[in-house]
Amino acid sequence: MFFLGGKGNLITLPRKLESGLRFRYSSLVPTKVIAVANQKGGVGKTTTAVNLAACLAAVGRRVLLFDLDPQANATSGVGLEKKEGASAYLALLGQGGLLDKIQATAFERLHMIPSEVDLCGADIELARSDNHLQRVTQALRPVLESQRFDVVLVDCPPSLGILTLNAFVAAHGVLVPLQCEYYALEGISMLNRIMSQLHDNGTNPTLELTGVVMTMYDSRTKLSQQVVSEVREHFGERVFETMIPRSTRLAEAPSFGKPIIHYDKYSSGSAAYELLAQEFLARLDKGNEAKG
């Protein structure tokens, strides 16, 4: 009996396994943790985290959406309620495990660690504790070891505070949504500098910029086009080809607790996030091949 291996190689199964033993496919590729971050508010971090997560799940990846923002917009965006004690807060303080916080959503293969307002206190509480930048890394360890997920997407708050830094320390990559507006690049040098420091001082030597995604793009305006070309000049190939259009359907979907592909499958926003998911996966898979 033959199976196609990861790179198209034929794998021969031992006779013992062939004979009646049933086994479940489990990915040997380690879980990738990607932080969706930009300290600027309202640039499309949550919209990107929720919709990319849903599109990745729809194409067969096992996805964990981790809401690390006390505003809990990603939580309501996938139709979960904000419930006291349901967030990662206690697990980050070393009380209880993060595995217990994982909830199923209404969407196949999409799970969630919800947020709620208690996470507001985490910045202050964590600042006073030991290893305060490693708390997300430590809490996520059993989740990664469980091999239940292919991708963990972390929706970060709009700041470069302790929660976001924790996500950067735990992550393999950072995905930066940039809104197509005049000040898009403002503050990005700060984000870049922090990523370089974590990389260079050994805190997270494998941290990469997974990519920059342009959001709320309006092809009718010259401004959108100018901003995109300026950002491409700055980040080169790290900018995803796919740009997310400004779309009312995308803005409405969270109020129905649904990602866009489940709210309006044939909208422009749906198509854009489906394409982004393909590009995103191509980058992740390329990274895995390079390391494997």
Ligand X SMILES: Nc1ncnc2c1ncn2[C@@H]1O[C@H](COP(=O)(O)OP(=O)(O)OP(=O)(O)O)[C@@H](O)[C@H]1O
Interstrand relation of 63-67 and 151-155 (parallel, antiparallel or unpaired): parallel
Interstrand relation of 2-4 and 10-12 (parallel, antiparallel or unpaired): antiparallel
Nearest to ligand X of 144, 218 (CB atom): 218
Considering only 46, 115, 179, 224, the residue that binds Mg ion (CB under 5 A) is: 46
Nearest to ligand X of 44, 211 (CB atom): 44
Indicate whether 258 belongs to the interface with ligand X (CB under 6 A).
Answer: no
Which stretch, 17-25, 67-75, 127-135, 260-268, contacts ligand X (CB under 6 A)? 67-75
Helix axes 162-170, 188-200, angle to 10 degrees: 50
User: Rounded to the nearest whole angstrom, what is the least distance from the CB of residue 110 to Mg ion in the complex?
Assistant: 18
Angstrom CA distances, 230 to 41, 225, 233, 236, stand at 20, 9, 5, 10
Indicate whether 244 belongs to the interface with ligand X (CB under 6 A).
Answer: yes
Place of tokens 């959001």: 215
Which stretch, 14-22, 69-77, 96-104, 274-282, contacts ligand X (CB under 6 A)? 69-77
User: Rounded to the nearest whole angstrom, what is the least distance from the CB of residue 286 to ligand X in the complex?
Assistant: 26
Which does residue 204 bind out of Mg ion, ligand X, none, counting CB within 5 to 8 angstroms by kind?
none
| Binding residues for ligand X (CB under 6 A) | 41-47, 69, 71, 73, 158, 215-216, 244, 246-247, 250-251
